[in-house]
Amino acid sequence: MRIQEVIEENKMRRLTYSILFISSLIALNACRSASGDTTANVAAPCQIALAAHSGDAKIDQEIARLQQDIRSNSKPFQTTALIEKLGWSFVEKARVSFDPGFYKIAEQCALCLDSKQGEKQAPNKALSNPESIRSAALLLRGHALHNLHRFAEAEKIARELVERRGLAYDFGLLGDVLIEQGKMDDAVAAYQKMMEMRPGPQAYSRAAHVRWLRGDIDGARALMLMAAQAAGQGDPESSAWAWSKLAIYELQAGRLKQAHAMCDAALQMQSNYAPALLARGRALLAEGRMDEAIATLERAAQINPLPEYQWTLADALRSAKRDDEAAKIESQLAATGPANDPRTFSLFLATRGQQPGDALRLAEEDLKNRRDIYTLDALAWAQAANGNASEAWKTMQSALTLGTADARLYLHAASIAAQAGEIKQAKIYAGKAAKIESALLPGERIRLKQLKSV
């Protein structure tokens, strides 16, 4: 099967659950309108959560089994615990399939669980009273909303959770949604609470991300290594994610041999893991091993056809003079990018000098939802593409505030500074980018070479 056909197939698969989800809501709303039944508001999330699920993977079978147990009411005093487990199973399915539609179903599981507060449960069970049911539902829903990029909604839930019970994972959720909104100090305080209460892989990975954002690459690498090793065989997907993230850190540090080793570790935990394949493809690009890089990036894009993957693959194909193939990937990126990842698609458009107005609109819209440094970077890059160099430089300076050592940030800063007439700053940031240019895409490295003559 050709790469384009596989990506199209993956796109349709990713849309299936969103379509089913919307169809379920429409049908239930129609029934509610026709019957005047106000109780359908409560029933709707449970019906969506229990809509028949199938699949051959172990997680699919677990989801189907849980749904059957809940539908049959064979364990009436364990219903809430089963619904909670079902919700987290959909979260796991979302993570391994890279399909955000499953987060939407996980959210419906949370709403369904919340509706069960008045039902009698077995004594001595974790979810045996309304307070514990409410908290469990909030954590599940907050996690789903965070992954659906509904950060403001998730923040309200996280704050309620912290006030209600204040467990480690509650503080973890709060830190996650705060950091996405650029509220760094408050996020760090929440993560510190999590670390004090429950040190472990989830706390280590969050601490690593903070260190990374603040420019402490060595600290970030050390903590992410702790996260990867602590997760281990007990949670292979989380371990694979941490190893893949560590590979990116190594790539940003210019340590290509170590980056490959981290990718090996990730793929041992989870074969054909898209983030690890993407990291490996980027490392191969940096080494000039173009054919191997393209083959690896094709596999990554087949599994997870998001803009970051498609852009990297298209850039590699263009560098290899395979322009017709690149154009097909870019066509797919243009069709799905605005919905799947508006920030990355904005960066792509601005980098290619295409549709600068759309790039700016997408970045501005994304900024309404999150204000982290990468969204500020996307906005600055789009402003520069639209010829507004002075405003772009102001925005870029905000993106650089934390001191994050990221090759793309440095490249954008150098380019924008040069455009704004800040020649000294342009040279400084071009020099910083040059030291870790292995983390840039081939097209970006060409732009960096052009900047060196400034």
3-state SS class at 119: coil
Reference 400, options 382, 386, 381; nearest CA is 381
Residue 238 confidence (pLDDT) above 80:
yes
pLDDT at 454: 61
Query: Buried (b) or exposed (e) across 169-205, using 16+ Cβ within 10 A?
Result: bbbbbbbbbbbbbbbbeebbebbbbbbeeeeebbbbb
pLDDT at 411: 98
CATH superfamily entry for domain 341-454: Tetratricopeptide repeat domain (1.25.40.10)
| DSSP 8-state code for residue 289 | -
Residue 140 identity (one-letter amino acid): L
The CA distances from residue 291 to 273, 294, 298, 319, in Å, are 20, 5, 11, 11
Number of alpha helices (DSSP H) and beta strands (DSSP E) in the chain: 24, 0
Contact 86, 39 (CB under 8 A): no
pLDDT at 423: 95
Least confident stretch, 63-77, 112-126, 194-208, 224-238: 112-126
- What mean pLDDT comes out for the span 104-127? 79
pLDDT at 233: 74
* C-alpha count within 13 angstroms, C-beta hemisphere, residue 255: 14
Give backbone dihedrals phi and psi of 372, rounded to 5 degrees, phi first: -75, 175
Q: State how far the Cα of 301 lies from the Cα of 309, in Å rounded to an integer.
A: 5
- What mean pLDDT comes out for the span 85-98? 95
Where does residue 357 rank: exposed (0-12), middle (13-18), buried (19+ CB within 10 A)? exposed
pLDDT tens per residue across span 53-67: 988 889 999 999 999
Where are the domains positioned within the chain? 341-454
* C-alpha count within 13 angstroms, C-beta hemisphere, residue 143: 24
Confidence of residue 266 (pLDDT cuts 50, 70, 90): very high
Average per-residue pLDDT for the chain: 89
pLDDT tens per residue across span 367-399: 999 999 999 999 999 999 999 999 999 999 999
pLDDT at 117: 81
Q: State how far the Cα of 105 lies from the Cα of 26, in Å rounded to an integer.
A: 15
Residue 266 identity (one-letter amino acid): A
Contact 249, 220 (CB under 8 A): yes
pLDDT tens per residue across span 339-357: 999 999 999 999 999 999 9
Sign of the torsion angle spanned by Cα atoms 184, 187, 193, 197 = negative
The pTM assigned to this predicted structure is 0.87
Confidence of residue 80 (pLDDT cuts 50, 70, 90): very high
Q: State how far the Cα of 48 lies from the Cα of 150, in Å rounded to an integer.
A: 20
pLDDT tens per residue across span 156-214: 999 999 999 999 999 999 999 999 999 999 999 999 999 999 999 999 999 999 999 99
Reference 282, options 448, 442, 412, 98; nearest CA is 442
User: For the packed helices 40-49 and 79-97, what is the interaxial angle rounded to 10 degrees?
Assistant: 50
3-state SS class at 232: helix
Confidence of residue 11 (pLDDT cuts 50, 70, 90): very low
